[in-house]
Structure 1
Amino acid sequence: MSLIEQYLPDYGFREVHSCVIMAKPSVVLHAAAAYQPETDPFFRKMIGLRELPMRIGARISDKQTEVVLPFGLHNFTLLEQRDDALVYGLIGRFWRPDFGLVPVSDGQAYRQFNKAGVAKLALVFSAASQGENITRLETETRVFCPDLASRLKFTPYWYLIRPVSGLIRSRILKSIKQDSENS
């Protein structure tokens, strides 16, 4: 059973991207674990655009004193790391301007969480050896909406962000590839 299957076997939305990297799987996963999407100017611009309604709302309601860091990998919880994969989890109402995030402490809390109207997202990086110093890195994202109401709210959001999300994933893989092959 794959690592993502252990955390989110049921899902309604899925996106997969991969690349081949000239490095050992351990080097590739180390680079994946160290990657910070916030260092990518495209990511920062797209997250800034995504967060614009939230920031305008804060300005209008005079809540600018509540400084919120831009969305990034720090919002995710590392659920588990193995020699061949690492999986992150995120729980929330992603369609809301503030993402409606629900903090989760670890993999067990993530698995046990089950609340109507709140979606669960799992993001995995898997590294598979394809030969000596050749690794296939795959990133997979799954989203589970527990009820019709959350599916109806998440679906248009998914189709709106999916093209940009795909571009971001491709850029993440390219960066991990460069870091892995240059180390």
Structure 2
Amino acid sequence: MPTLADRFVPRPDFASRHETVLDAPADAVWAAFRAMELERGVRGIGVARVLMAVRAVLGRVLNRGRVHRDEPTAFAPLAEEPGREVVHGIVGRWWRMGGAANRTDVTTAEQFLAFAEPGYAKGTFGLRLTESPDGRRTRVVTETRVVCTDEEARRAMRRYWGVIRPFSGLIRTAMLRELRRRVAAR
């Protein structure tokens, strides 16, 4: 079944996927996800805060204290099918660790699709819900996809992905665990 993410990164150079099944209808899971997003999103999850702080410190060390503070780290909304799927995207050079990694001028789906400047990667984060036929359980899938604009960026991203992928997975797993907690509390 095609996903919204297929429109933005149909053939990723790098990808990871995490999933869980929750004992709740899709509308309850969607509401819990939206509430989590409104309350700081992934940044509200302890392990994510720690890992982002570590990355910031590494960025300062690697860039000899010169880190671009005006650089947003939030993903821009690209597409949504309410209650079923959402996709956010970001363009950057994350392997530069704080050295002006993200593009602040790519904020819409059209800009994301059109972006082709060499030396960058385009990443999406998607969350997709599939409700069971009886409406009592929901499969939640998160997917991270990255496509690079040229071979040089692909080589740099490959090195970075080799290091960051387990930590990205840890954040996604913690996010699913937090979602499970929120759904159970409803």
Aligned to 2:81: 82
Map 1:22-171 onto structure 2 (within 5 A): 22-35=23-36, 36-56=41-61, 60=65, 67=69, 75-83=74-82, 84-98=84-98, 100-103=101-104, 104-130=106-132, 131-171=134-174
Q: 1:42 offset after TM fit, Å?
A: 1.4
State the 1:96 CA deviation: 0.6
Q: Give distance in 1, aligned partners of 2:78 and 2:26.
A: 19
> Aligned equivalents of 1:122 and 1:33: distance in 2?
18
The Cα offsets for residues 28-56 of structure 1, whole Å up to 9 and x where unpaired, read as 12322332111222111111111113334
Q: Residue 111 of structure 1: SS of its match in structure 2?
A: helix
| TM-score normalised by structure 2 residue count | 0.86
The whole-number CA distance in structure 2 between the counterparts of 1:26 and 1:50 is 35
Q: By how many angstroms is 1:151 displaced?
A: 0.8
Match of 1:181 in 2: 184
What SS is found at the alignment partner of 1:27?
Answer: helix
TM-score, structure 1 normalization: 0.87
Flag structure 1 segments of 5+ consecutive residues without an equivalent: none
Report percent identity of matched pairs: 27
Displacement of 1:59 in angstroms is 6.9
Which residue identity lines up with residue 80 of structure 2 in the other structure?
Q
Output the amino acid matched with 1:164: F
Note the aligned Cα RMSD (angstroms): 2.1
Q: Give the total of aligned pairs.
A: 177
- Give deviations 1:72-125, integer Å, cap 9, x for gaps: 5xx110111113100000100010121610122211111111111110001100
Structure 2 spans left out of the alignment, 5+ residues:
none
Q: Is the 8 A contact 1:29 1:125 kept in 2?
A: no
Aligned mates of 2:51, 2:180 — CA distance in 1: 22
